[in-house]
Structures are given as structure tokens and as C-alpha cells.
Structure 1
């Protein structure tokens, strides 16, 4: 038996005699080896522990004798083992408040520990009791749980806070490995973290970590555990102090905050002071499709666009090293779809009371829409710059009548220079000839009301006094209504072409009139002669020839009218015109020529108009002719007449092809024809309504059209009854 090795030195006594003597000692005797294992315990020691020899031998003294364990005793054991000299220690058992006197003696392979109750004089007991009480009061004064451990993790002492949480007694804990307590053994992962922390602390480190423990099955606590070491005079670790602070409420609040953080649209991240990611909110985890383990170190950079990674890494490292706020724009990849979106990442350092950075708190905000807007703005600016640099379009920006900015094309058109521009010498009024004041004023009124003006033709009075025909339009800046931008096209080539065309039409019309008149007269003369000679069939053939001649004569007359209108030379005669009589006369004539349609006249004006009867007849003849022409499958054309004290209104309605809404304003333009397939099949040059609109205008009237495709059109002409025509 190993327990007899410590008594072999007593040569004068037999083995049995020595065992009997030790068994009769009044104190408790333990013999332990260098590992702290019990190799002998006398009868008194067995009685104190309450266990037979077979339960003691081979087990650790600290685990088997919780009533005797204290930090003072542990330090005395370590001292005796180190110095190999006898040591004594006096202390109070925290289990039963009995004063103990322990004598420690080295043996060949361990120690002999002899305990007996302390019987010092009362005044010495009071002094020692006061010191012990101070230690106990100090230990219990901590609101945190405090445990004293041996360097290998055996519990030497513990205050009441963790015992109360676990519903344990001190003797249930003292002498046992700290890691085996239920609070830690509930979770093997947490238990392993504690073992590693004790090992580090036993080497002199101060270790701090957070953990969730379960003192009871119905209770969990979040704690922050700090383990520090106590050293002796030779700087050897004597024991460890474990302080566990309850942060359950803090963690609960933190969990609520994380729930809130998970609900906000931004991505939220937290890193340690070294930049290592310790938290990503659920939105960021879901977007990247990466766990915290995958983003460790530089792993999070895998979610950054390859073209952005170097810039982002350098910016982040600079912030960590300098402790300055972090801000960078980056593209992050959607881990599910693989698409990239732009985000603005911002991070701020969080410092403790000493100014040291303890963590970084940051967000990532989706700026994809903003970047698209910026890109669209950049492209728009490039397009504007290309437009401003255009050699075709003149562009000017004005404040009121003053031109404050213009491109080179505009300056070239008007003959002004950049110096003139910088000195505000270019003015819209000076650029406008007097005869264009009215149309220019109307355009600017439209601009003020609608924030844009319909492009119109005018002339510019250039710096050198020459005139330049232009087509111009403009819009107001929505952000600065005092400023307008004008677009100007040089219209001189088009005007010259139109003039040549008008000259040709005028010349052709004059040249055609005489031959047509001669053909018409000769045809009529021959037809009458043939009729007198009884050659009626030949006369009828010549009659059919007269109709195309008349059409050609009307076309020539219309072309000549167009030329006169363009030159401002269309002549008008002023006379009193009975509109009722004129309209019924025209209706009767058109009815005889066009028996396929019923021409119905309703109402009456019962007033005379001062105007040109032939020109007014030309207006309504054209409108009725068009109504018949563009309603080939309808049977009726309606003419409604009405009047007020100030105006006379004539409506010509058909039930034919109709006109698309977007083309209604264009039909009054010169040579314009509706582009539909059915309309193309109807002959004409597109000048009739142009002449009609001009005649109505010169009589002070208006003409409008209301139409629906497939349902027909209504042309409404209104004349003032008290106004002279323009001559």
C-alpha cells in the first residue's frame, strides 16, 4: 500500500503500532502526494469528511475535503511544496465557522497535513476572527460572482452570489473543478471556452469573455467573466480570481436593439477594434448570403465588386490605423442573384473612457437609385455639352431680355462675340425687327404661362444690320423661372427655297392661266359649233373635256392664291355679304354637282358680314367639297348656321373618315395632307385648307375642327359681325 511509505522512517516502531498511534491522534491527519491525491487519512480525518478510506484514497484532497479547503490553506500547501519546510496556517472554515490550525510538513513524495481546532487565547482569536471576517465580508461585498481558483482550476473559495443562483452550498462546490459546475457543463462549447481561459490565466494573462451559463435548468444568465492571476513574491501564479458580472439585462436590451436593427432598411455591421467582423444584421447576412464565419478576416471583401476591392480595403485599413471615420462607395453582390448594387458604407469608432477604440459601428445604405440618377445626370450633362457645342443649333440662355450665355453657333448667327456676351450687349429686343414684335410678345406670353413656347418663325436683326430668318423656341428652367433657354435654327436656306418655290408657283400659275383660258374658250366654241351642226355625240365628248380643264383652272387659281398669300398680296373686296343667301346658293350649286350626297342646311345667321363675297364663297365651297370628298361612304353633309349679337357661326359636318387628334392642327398648314392610306387615295395638293384658314383669318374669324377617326369631322367657322376685314 502506498500509504505506508510516509511512515517507514520510524524504525523503532512496527508498522501496525504506528498506524494505531496515528489513528488515536485528536486531530485530523491527511497524507497527500505531490498531485494532491490522498494516500492516508486517520480516523479523525475520515470522521470530518464523513467517508471511509476506500472513498478517500486515490481521490484529490481538494475535492474530498470541502470543509477544510480555503485560499489560505491552498497558499500554505504551495509554499510548503516549494520551500520543503514545515508551515502553519490558522483560518476559519467557511462551512462551519470553526477555527482550524493546520500544520504542513513535507514528505518524500508529498505533504502531511495535520488539522485541529484552534484554541488560542480569546484575544488572539478575536483578532484573527476580525481579519477572517474582513476577508469574508470583502468577498461577499461584490455584487458579481467571485470565485477563487487554483491555477489548475480547482475551486478554493466562492461567494454567495453564484451559489444562490445555482441553489448550491459552498461544500458542493469547493474543491471541485470550476468547469464541472452545472452552470458551465450545461453547454460543452462554453465549458471548453472556460477551460481555455483558465489555462491562459494560469500563465499570467488576464482573460475576459462573454458567455451564457445555466446555473439551473430553469435559469440562464449572460455574464462577462474576467479571470486574473495573483502572483507570489517570486512572480509565480498562486491562484486565480474569477469575477462574473451579470449582463443578462444588457443582453436582453441588446437583443431588442438587434431586432430593431434587423428591421431597419440599412445593412448594419459591427467589428472589433482590429476590424474583425463580430456582427452583421439579418438584412446584410441575407443579402450577402454569407455567415459570420465566412466574413471573418478579409472574407467580407468577397462580396465587394472586384473593381472596388483594392480601394475599399485601403480605405478601411486607413480608418483602422488612423482611428478616423470610414466612408466609401462600393458595389456589393447579392449572394442570391449575383447582381451588384451600389452602397454607401460608413463606420464610426466607439471609444471607452480612456479614448481607446473598443469597436467599430457601421452601416451600408443602398444608393443604387442615386448612382443611376448621377449617371443619368452625367450623361445628360454630356448631351447638353454636346448640344451646346453643336454647329447646327444656336443655344442662348436669357434673363428677361438679356442674353447671359450662348454657344458659338448662336454668336456666329447673330454676329456677336464672347466679349459682347460677357458685357451683356446682346438683347432680345434689339435682335427683333419691329414687324416681329407682336408674334415675339405672344410667344413670350406662352412661355410665361406654359413654361414653354411653340417654335415659330421670325427674323433676327444681326449686329451688322443684316437680317437672318430663324426658327426659334424656348423653355423656362423649372428651378429658376427667371431664366429661359432658347433654341435657334438658321432658317435662311429654307426661306430661300420656299421663296424659289413660291416664285416658281407664281410664275407657273401665270404661265398656265393664259393657255388654260384659251383651251377652255376654244373647247366651248367647238362644242357649240358641233351642237349646231347636229353632232351631239362629239359635243358631249367635248363637254367631258371641259370638266378637267375647269379643275386644272381651279388648281392654278389656288396655287396663285398661295403665292399671293405668301407674298402678302392676296386681294380682298369689302362689301356687305348676306351669309344666309351665300351659304344656300353654294349648297344648291354643290348639290347639283354632287348628287351622291344630300347637303342639308339648318338654321340661319340673319345678319350681314362686311367682307369679300367671292373669298367667303371660296371658304365654304372648299369645306363642303372636302366633306363630300372625305366621306365617300356617307350620304349626308350638314351645314348648321347660328348667330349671337357679336358673332356668326357656320358648322360643316360630315360622317366620313375623320382625322386623328394629333394631326388636327397640321391640316391647315401649306401642302399638308393626312397620311392615312384611305386619305392618300383622294386627290389633292393639301393647299385648300391653308387658303381657307388664311381667308378666315383676314376676315377676323377663327376656324376649328373636331373629329374622330371613322366617325367624321366638324369644321366650325366663326366671324365677328362688327369687324372690318384686314386689307
Structure 2
């Protein structure tokens, strides 16, 4: 069992037997010697050992390697063919002491121990067996045992070697598979624990491989047809810093060096002792300096593919010659690269989603509308800041379905019905509702629109919606509708009111024509002319009211103020209404303790008194009417009270509006403008007007005017 080469069998055996490692055992038995040590060349011979030719033939043909040594000089008495093949020669007749390396590597000391009586076992010793095609690795279990002569004394050492190569390779294959699975499991766990940040993914893969497998790990990513180093890890922090410093600025072209070739072809590459040019032709000088400081014995690079396209390269290298990187390492690294690619793809997709979400929210915060999004089931998961400012709610009070709390209760049911239909069908949604404004508690009309966002398979993944304030538009539409109604009412009333005096005028004119034809007496003609004058005056009042409406509505009501005695003015109006008072049988009394003088437009104040007294006579039902004029704290108070039909409470708030009436125009004439004009004139003077009324009991109007100009 001797080899002349320093890496021969006995050196390996000696080292294995000398130290009991975790992968090899050494067993010994207590020495037993019954006699003194024999001198070399004396004592028992080989025949003493075999005790018959049949045993000798059995040992010669045995598959195990067997050698018999004799005496303290360990002379080889017998070496079977299996042992000779392992040594590459037949050492029979030679002493182990003739080989200097036997002593240098501790093999002689081992044999001496056995010769003194120990039995030593060495498991799985690695041997390189010479073959025509080169050395072949084998693993042998050795047993070193003393043998005794016929006299019972130790005569030498018997060596038995059993080839366990197949067992070792099977076990190592299983261990390698377990190691690969362990690394893949740890990589998968590290990737699952890594954040969606790409940097954390690269770092997790590189660090784990460095800890578990190799000295140096690099990841290059493809950017603009160049490969740039994204991360580099090394077991030695100082080496890692140096590599990052020199390699990070380098951009490798496709096809340049091992990494560039892998990226260009998509094929994995394993290189033993790579040269600077193999690492990069363009940057050979940089790599030459690094290889001089940190020699690389083997380099393995595999592609990183995302959806079938090479996006980067994962590389690992070893500085030691053993163990070498193999095809198994390539398979392992490709598996790691595939797992990393899945994580990278997911992270890139997440980054795109995050960027898309960021752009959407930036846009959503910039627009004046209320922007919101919801999950596929319709539960709201986002509102822009404009919503929170308007409603005064926080996220916890808005998300999900909580936002419905600020929708007008009359609109909730219809809104939910439309929204549910859209969620169920995946169709666009449009609705109108009123949303409460936090600033004043008012409800404003909103137009809501939402559309679905779909994935590649057409499934709804999100809803995006907007609420637009259309309150002004709704108010405009309402005002327009009211204006149209007012216009129609006015035209109906005005047509009726204007037709009545015109018809009367026509009758009077026709009557005058007949009287003139018959040349009747003068008194009857004058009576008809007075009636014509009355109806013309009525038409004049109607036209004046319309002109006053136009002036007031356009802001052209001008006041010609001068000192006016309100008591005298009221008396004048009452006197002017004498015919109507007589016709309605509603006596009018004036209560005025003294004169009340103020700086007013006399004609406009006359119009106020005329309108109020005219209404009292019209709706007074023939009952007495009281008019009072008083001076109170620098203000004039005018009170007009009737005891007629009164005004229902629901109509009292609107009778001061244009074309508004509290009674049917069939029974009571007029355009419905008198009280509106009255209020405009009173307010133009800085005064106020109000009323008290009960149906069936009458109505009291109270006007207050400042007697002097304000400061």
C-alpha cells in the first residue's frame, strides 16, 4: 500500500488514521505482545502466515487490497494484484523504510504502532489510482492489524483495503442533493421574507449563497444593452469592499467576457482559472489587477430569466481549488436564479403598480373633484384629500361604506341600487346625490361617475370614480324651471289682467259710439267717459308695475329723497281710495298721534301705502281697516290692518316674491307684483316690512322706515 508520490495512498491513509475526523473513523485495539521484537529478515516467513497454498490463492484472488509486512522494518512479504494495481507497482521484498515520504507523512509511525500491538482502522481513505486515461479517484476502508508467528509473538503487520467508492459516491450524491435542497429552501425562504424592493432581493440571494456555498457571488443586471453590477458579496468584508469599488463602475457589453456571453446566449458557463480576458476583453486591465490579488480557481455564471427574457446574470466563484465547481453546482445555481427571477418579476410588477398608483394619486390630489377607488366588491379603499376637506371626515369614517353617512338620506337608496347593479354587472356607473358639506352643514348636489379597471383576463380588479359638484348647475336648472313657471304664470295673469280693462274699454267705446249716433244727453256720455278713464288708469297701473319690476330687477331703482310727512301722505292715499272704500264697504280709520317726517322718496312711499291699502280693501271682506302712523326711536312705523280672509302660514314666506299670490287669481285680480315692489322700495330706504296673519281673522302689515339718513 505504498506510493512514491506525495499524494499516494499511504500519505492519505496515514493522515486519515492519524486524526479521527467526522467523516472518517480510526479504531484501535489494545496492544498484545508476548515476545520481543524480531530483527528484520528474521522470524516467521510468509509461509508461516498463509499456512497453506489454498489460503494464499484466496488472498491473491481476493478483490480487497491485501499486503503482509514482516518485522520492525516493515518488509513487504506479500502484495496481492489488487494492492499492486492500487500502487501501480509490486512492492514485494522492499522495506517501507526505503521510502522517505513514508516517514515524512507519518506512515511509518502508524505501522510502528500496529507492530507494537494496536489494530487501526481508517475509513474512506481517498486514493488516486493510476489508469491509462489518468488518475482515478477511489475510496478505501483500511484495516491495519498485527499478525503473529507460530510462537505467538507479533511478526509483522497485515493490511486489508476494501473499495467503498460506490458507497461514498452514493452517500455524497445524497448529501449533495440534501445540500442543494437546503440551499434552495433557504433561498426561497429568504426571498419570501425579502421586501418587494429589488435591492433586498439581490442582497438576500447573494448573502445566502456566500454563506452556504461559495466565496464570491455577483449579480449583474441588463440595462440599455450593458451589464452593470448590482450587488457583490464576499466572505471577507475587505475583499467585498474592494470588488465593489472596482467592479461597480464597469459596464460590460453583451458578449464581452463570461458574464456578457451568458447574457447574450442565455447559456450557463463554467470556467476553471479564468484569465482577465475571459472575464472582460474591454476591462482586462481591471480584472488582471483583481485576479492578481484574489485568484479565482473556478467561475460559474448562469442567466436570470424573467418571462423568457434574460434580464441579468448570477455568478459565483471560488478561490480554493477544492472542491471544484461541477455540473451539480450549475444545476443548483440555475434553480436559485429561477427562484430569484420569480421574486424579481413580482417585485418589478409591484414597483410598476406602486408607480402607477403614485401617479394616479398625484393626479387625484391635483383635481378639484372628489376622486375615489374601491375594491371589486364595491368597498371604498381610497378618497383624495379634497373629499376629507369637504366632508370633514377622516379615513376611518369614510372608507368601506362609512362614507354613506354624509349622503342625503333621500338619495341613499337610489344610489345603492345603481351602485350594486354596476358591481354585479361590471358596467360603468353614473348617479346623482347630495353630499353634506362640513363647513356649513348644507347638502350640495354631486354627479358621480365610476368605471371598472380590468386585468388581462377581463376581471374587475378595482373601481375608479369621481364626484363632481353640480350644485350650481342644479340650482340653475331649478331656477330656470321656476323662471319658466313664473313666466307662464305671469303671462297667464297678465293676459287676464290686461284683457279685463281692455274688454271694458271696448264695451264703453262701443256704447259711446251708439250714444253719439242717437245724440243722447251729455250726462250719459260723461259717465261712460269716466269709466273709460278708470279702465285706462288701471291699464296704466299695470304697465307701471311691469316697468317698476324691470327697473328694480336691473338695479335701476333711483330714489329722489326729500322731507315727507308720512301722516299727510297716508291721508292723501286714503282720500284717493274713497270710491273703492265706498264700493267695498270697508271703512278706513287713521290713527296718528302727530306728524311723522322723514327723508324719503315721496312717490315711492306713496306706492308702498297704495299697495298695502289696496290689498287691505281687496282681501278685507268688507270689514273695517285700520291704518296707523307712529314715530318710534327715530323710525317711522306704518301699520295697515284688515279683518279679512287672512294668509295661510305656508304662503306667508313667499308672498313678497315676484308673481306670488296667496289666493286664486280667478277670484282676486292683480299680477302678484305689489308686495314684491313694496318690499324692494322699503329695503331701498333701509327699512323693513313684515306681517302677522291668521286665516279668517285678517292680516297686519308693519313697515318701518328710518326717518334720517344713516351715518
Query: TM-score interval w.r.t. the shorter chain?
Result: 0.3 to 0.5
TM-score of the pair, normalised by structure 1:
0.32
Q: Looking at both structures, which has the greater relative contact order when contacts are Cα pairs under 8 Å and sequence separation is at least 6?
A: 2
TM-score, with length taken from structure 2: 0.32
- Higher share of residues assigned strand: 1
